Amino acid sequence: MTEVLLEIDNLSVDYETGRGDLKALRNISFSLNKGEIVGIVGESGCGKSTLISSILRLTAPNTRFREGEVRFKGRNLLNISEQDMRSLRGSDISIVFQDPMQTHNPVLTIGRQMLDIQHRSSATKAEKLHRAAEMLSAVGIPDPQARLKQFPHEFSGGMRQRIAIAMALMSEPDLLIADEPTTALDATLEVQIIEHLRSLQQDMNCAVLFISHHLGVIAELCDRVVVMYAGAVVESGDVREIFGNPKHPYTRRLIDCDPGHIKERARVLPTIPGEVPDLANLPKGCIFRERCDQAMPRCTASVPPLQTIAEITGHRAACWLNHEEMAS
């Protein structure tokens, strides 16, 4: 049974800047079912972090929500009270950040922090410590009882990220957001983290929104994938569909850049010639037009809508080429 957990519906977000409004997100729509893992890929600056902070409503002060909704279990998070929002954070929705070296309080022991994060629970301190130790061993930290007494700087980067995952999953959330959790780590550690993440995710049946630069990890871990480019969704669908039969030139370029090695090698998104358009001053028509080798006159004239290509798999792409294809 698929039950929708998170639904981003036509979300547009601006940043007010000295140069005018920077259109960081434009008409983003996708959804996440209960227990599903959805990946978001896209170059640096395409708006991944903006999207996450919009979901958690922890945006920069110059953020303006222009239109759209973020529905979590049917409730629009953009207009519930701050109090309600805070009670969702860390209990129903948890997050793991990119840089494990920065996400822990440097002057508190890991145990102290893991106790603190259970502040909503009415369990006794001994029970909470027990639970903390349990979570640490679940992410493969040996000798958790002793480790709880140590400070963050006494752990390696990989361990710290596993601790961050343990802390995020402590409350058994329905949704875990992971913002490039492995980008700061080397390849072997990355595999380890992904393994732990997957096994915990299966045990708890929580949905994961997994943001990454790394196509290989997305291919390995995710059920579905959303490809973002310059603040918009250009393609989304089943992982195998997207990687096997990409319908947007941008996705194709991402994959083509490193054909045989996607699984192991594509740690960083391959670079594509040309520049991302200025979000404060968007060109007319398709945003990928200037870097696209298949651009047509139509691409300059108007923005291609995100269109369903295959109903069954939910494959969607925003490119005029598909319209031509379907027409013929």
Partner 1 sequence: MTNSRSELTQIVVGIVRDPLGLVGLLIVGSIVFCAIFAAWIAPYDPVAMNIQARLEGPSLAHPLGTDQLGRDTFSRVIMGSQVALKVALPAVFGAMFIGLALGMIAGYGPKWLDNLLMLLFDTLRSFPTVMFALAVVALVGPSLQTVVLVVMATSIPTYARVARTQTLSLRNSEFILAERAMGASVFRILGVHMLPNIIGVLAVLAAMDIPTVIALEAGLSFLGLGVKPPTPSWGALLKDGYALIRQTPWLVVGGGLPVILATLGFTFFGETMRDVVDPKLRKQR
Kindly list the residues in this chain that would bind partner 1 in the complex (CB under 8 A). 56, 58, 86-91, 94-95, 97, 99, 102-109, 111-112, 115-117, 119-120, 149, 151, 153-154, 164, 167-168
| Between 231 and 249, CB nearer to ligand ATP | 231
The nearest distance, CB 44 to ligand ATP, in angstroms, is 3
The nearest distance, CB 35 to ligand ATP, in angstroms, is 25
- How big is the site for ligand ATP, counted in residues (CB under 6 A)? 15
Which of partner 1, Mg ion, ligand ATP, none does 50 bind, CB closer than 5 to 8 A by kind? Answer: ligand ATP
User: Phi then psi for 37, rounded to 5 degrees?
Assistant: -110, 115
Q: Which residues are bridge partners to 228 per DSSP?
A: 233
Residues 32-71 that bind Mg ion (CB under 5 A): 49
In three-state secondary structure terms, 89 is strand
- Tell which one of 8, 13, 27, 48 touches ligand ATP (CB under 6 A): 48
Which of Mg ion, partner 1, ligand ATP, none does 112 bind, CB closer than 5 to 8 A by kind? Answer: partner 1
Residue located via tokens 């049917």:
74
The nearest distance, CB 313 to partner 1, in angstroms, is 33
Q: Other CB atoms closer than 10 Å to residue 43's CB: what's the count?
A: 18
Q: Could you please report the per-residue DSSP string of 118-151?
A: TTT----HHHHHHHHHHHHHHTT-SSHHHHTTS-
- Tell which one of 6, 24, 189, 299 touches ligand ATP (CB under 6 A): 24
Q: Which residues are bridge partners to 166 per DSSP?
A: none
CB 96 within 8 A of CB 36: no
User: Both tokens of residue 210?
Assistant: 């997994």
Stretch that binds ligand ATP, among 15-23, 166-174, 184-192, 315-323 (CB under 6 A): 15-23
Q: Is 29 a residue that touches Mg ion (CB under 5 A)?
A: no
What are the strands, taking DSSP E only, across the chain? 4-17, 20-33, 37-41, 63-72, 75-76, 93-96, 175-179, 207-212, 224-229, 232-238, 307-310, 315-317
Q: Which residues are bridge partners to 95 per DSSP?
A: 177
Q: Is 45 a residue that touches ligand ATP (CB under 6 A)?
A: yes
Euclidean distance between CA atoms 158 and 50, whole angstroms: 25
String marking each residue 280-299 x if it binds ligand ATP according to CB under 6 A = --------------------
Which residues make up the interface to ligand ATP (CB under 6 A)?
Answer: 15, 17, 22, 24, 42, 44-50, 60, 62, 279
Which residues make up the interface to Mg ion (CB under 5 A)?
Answer: 49
